[in-house]
Structure 1
Amino acid sequence: MVATPQASTPSAWKAASRGSRSWTGWRFVGPFMAVFALVFLAPIGYSIHLSLFRTQLIGGTVFVGLDNYLKALGDPQLWAAFGRVALFLVVQVPIMLFLSLLMALAIDSGRLYGASFFRISVFLPYAVPAVVATLMWGFMYGTQFGLIADVNEVLGLSLPDPLSPGLVLTSIGNIVTWEFVGYNMLIFYSALRVVNPSLYEAAEMDGASQLRIVWAIKLPALRGALMIATIFSIIGSFQLFNEPSILKSLAPNAITTSFTPNLYAYSLSFAGQQFNYSATVAIVMGLITMIVAYVVQLRGARKGL
């Protein structure tokens, strides 16, 4: 009798099936991971590499270790720029989120006439590119050629220059608020739309006022959305670049090359040819942004946000 090869057992088939399923997941995730490594991890790694070197007229590029980071810690221009964006964050972000919250609550109340038109009107500025929005507001801010100049001429007034050193940060905050109120409003409104309507009906049957419903039902439902919007706003504030960069030509005395950390890093790299120190500034600000966002998220989680 001739022996025949033993047929594959069910356990062998199951093992092969599990191995096939594990590789199937990696086939789906693989393209994303490749792009993620190429456009995110690789630039960060290269920036860290650059920050550890210094290019000198004599000696060329030399390894300096953490010297660039020590220089950044004592750089008054960097910390002055950081102070501006920190002030911008503390003042502008709460105002923007408060306005977004009010608009989202107004639309969700069902008592706003023309709510659909209002919603798209408020969101529309977010669709305007930041460059176009800044140029538009920069023209209106102009005291020699823009809206402020026309108002002064027609009414015989002497309105303050919005692009003066003392007001330019406020003017930038106004532009950013105009751009992103609608974006944050949509986040809040989307969170409100998933609330079970039966909760509102039960509250009304118990005699709760609209203000009580907002406080006891709607605001707790917005905790997660508020946390997301706050973190996004923190990151955006520390990355402030487009608005001051474009307004710089209109307000050269108010906006310097080190007005914000991102503008400072850009100037170091493309105007000063200090690529190594520019990478160091970018990494330092990235770490600060990450730490601040994490602390805000941690405190929000402890308080139930």
Structure 2
Amino acid sequence: MTTLAPPRAAATSGPTRRRGSRRRGAAPYAFLAPALTLFTLFLALPIGYAVYLSFRTEIVQGLGLGSGARQEVWAGFANYTRALQDPEFLASVGRVAVYGLLLVPTMLGLALLFALLLDSRRTRATGFSRISIFLPYAVPAVIASLLWGFLYLPRVSPFYYVFDQLGWDVPEVMSSGLVVFAIANIGLWGGVGFNMIIIYTALKSIPTELYEAARLDGASELMVALRIKIPIVMPSLVLTFLFSMIATLQVFAEPMTLRPLSNTISTTWSPLMKVYRDAFTRGDIYAASATSVVIALATFAFSYLFLRLVQDGRAFSQESK
């Protein structure tokens, strides 16, 4: 004679399973909660507050003393109009454009060259060479700018002392016509190693069978690099170009650190330096917020258009297959 299971156990098994599934479903959100909290407090809220301030302005009555003398009012797009029509802001954008044209192609070209040399089978001491090229990236931008700044000054630079002893008339690197090259050199010195590591990692993931087949067909090392390696690592080149372009639009530490060493770098040399001056020197946080939003929108637009351009081309053709 068989005994039926009590109906109470069957009735309670359903809610128990549902509670267990709810706990398992909430577990990922519990792990994400600290990161989401920090993101909201230190990134999302400051961005939202900056956007809010960009539409506000302050009206000062009289001498600006006493309660009610300063009143914050709605300004609409007046701060954005003033920022886009500011000659100092437009000049800073032009200087950063020249800086990017000098820095980004040279930096990515050297990074690709070093990555290809390290990936070559004839290279010796690969580990030491890789660390030596990457090591400048580990130096903070402020410290690197100070080191290079003293090397640029004729009175303390050992290079200018050697040039003087040799009788060479070398122009000052920190002069008004060459200061953009001086700042670009600092970015080049620190950025080549980072981009080289990204490209070199992509090269190491290429199957060696492709190289062996190409060499059996009589391809030289140069042809292997041009026909196999560079096309395959093109997505990595796109990624490094995007990172470099964003960093170029946000250049701040290098010219800001070099500015006390020379009078050829103004307080508005780059767009972010203008934001810093407006916010912390002039106390106009509303104009600074509007300029910051313009820079952020320009960075997003350039990044989006560039990614759309390369996606319509052949850079990501292998990923789409």
TM-score (norm 2): 0.89
Q: CA–CA distance in 2 between the matches of 1:13 and 1:208?
A: 66
**Mapped pair 1:96 → 2:107:** yes
**Aligned twin of 1:163:** 174
Count of aligned residue pairs for this structure pair: 302
Does the CA contact (< 8 Å) of 1:148 and 1:159 recur in 2?
no
CA-to-partner distance for each residue in 1:166-187, whole Å, 9 max, x for gaps? 1000111011100111111111
Q: What are the equivalent positions in structure 2 for 1:259-270 lying under 5 Å apart?
A: 259-270=269-280
| Aligned counterpart for 1:212 among listed residues 213, 223, 238 | 223
Describe the SS at the equivalent of 2:57.
strand
Q: Which residue of 2 aligns with 1:300?
A: 310
8 Å CA contact retained: 1:82, 1:261 = yes
Query: Would the alpha carbon gap of residues 218 and 4 (structure 1) be closer, same or farther in structure 2, given more than 3 Å must change?
Result: closer
Shift of the alpha carbon at 1:148? 4.3
Q: How does 1:174-253 map onto structure 2 within 5 Å? A: 174-252=185-263
- The answer (yes or no) to whether the contact 1:55–1:61 under 8 Å persists in 2 is yes
1:211 partner SS = helix
- Give the equivalent residue in structure 2 for 1:278: 288
1:55-74 matched pairs, under 5 angstroms: 55-58=58-61, 59-74=70-85
Structure 2 CA distance for partners of 1:78 and 1:111, relative to 1, 3 Å? same
Greater shift in the superposed pair: 194-203 or 235-244: 194-203
Taking structure 1 as the reference length, the TM-score comes to 0.94
Structure having the higher Rg: 2
Determine if the alignment matches structure 1 residue 40 to structure 2 residue 43. Answer: yes
CA distance in 1, matches of 2:253, 2:188: 14
CA RMSD of aligned residues (A): 1.7
Q: 1:188-245 deviations in whole A, cap 9, x for unaligned?
A: 1011111111111122222222222112221122112111111110110011011100
What stretches of structure 2 of length at least 5 have no aligned partner? 1-5, 62-69, 316-321
Q: 2:318 aligns to what?
A: none
Match of 1:136 in 2: 147
Report the Cα offset of residue 73 of structure 1.
1.5
| Unaligned residue ranges in structure 1 (runs of 5+) | none
Which residue of 20, 25, 29 corresponds with 1:26? 29
CA contact (8 A) 1:141 1:147 kept: no
Identity %: 36
Segment drifting more, 185-194 vs 220-229? 220-229
Whole-angstrom distance in 1 between the partners of 2:207 and 2:14 = 48
State the secondary structure of the residue aligned to 1:161. Answer: coil
Q: Which amino acid aligns with 1:91?
A: L
- Asked if 2 retains the 8 angstrom alpha-carbon contact of 1:142 and 1:148, the reply is no
Encode CA deviations 1:14-59: one digit per residue, 9 max, x unaligned: 5444423321121122211111111111110111111111123224
Query: Aligned residue for 2:162?
Result: 151
